[in-house]
Structure 1
């Protein structure tokens, strides 16, 4: 899977970092930083939750299979 962030939509709510802290970071008063844009299958559930709960729908997961 590959994670893509729309920086025009991201407002730095940090829901993604709360759902998947190994994959996302959001600095204080900043926007999302994707720590691992191609996480392994062990992170799939956390990443899907981060995408699902993003208040601005700024995250997208694309399958790379």
Structure 2
């Protein structure tokens, strides 16, 4: 699973950081840092990240389900 962030839409409310501080962080100016940008989230962080996406008041976060790599 991945979370995509729309940085242009983000208004820096910080609710994502409260829900999933291991995944999201706001800097001193209120700009979002997504620590797993472009990468799958570790399984232990998926629920928190889903919750963060759900509470974003401007819908700047989107959950993208990824499938595991095929076995060869």
The count of residues paired between Structure 1 and Structure 2 equals: 65
Whole-Å Cα distance in 2 between the matches of residues 29 and 22 of structure 1? 19
- Unmatched segments (≥5 aa) in structure 2: 68-72
Per-residue deviation, 1:45: 1.0
Whole-Å Cα distance in 2 between the matches of residues 16 and 27 of structure 1? 13
- Rg (Cα) greater in structure: 2
In angstroms, what is the RMSD of aligned CA positions?
A: 1.1
Does the alignment pair 1:22 with 2:22?
yes
- Unmatched segments (≥5 aa) in structure 1: none
Per-residue deviation, 1:61: 1.3
Query: Which residue matches 1:2?
Result: 2
Say which SS state the counterpart of residue 50 (structure 2) adopts: helix
Q: TM-score, normalised by structure 1?
A: 0.89
Q: TM-score, normalised by structure 2?
A: 0.81
Does the alignment pair 1:60 with 2:62?
yes
Superposed counterparts of 1:44-59, under 5 Å: 44-59=46-61
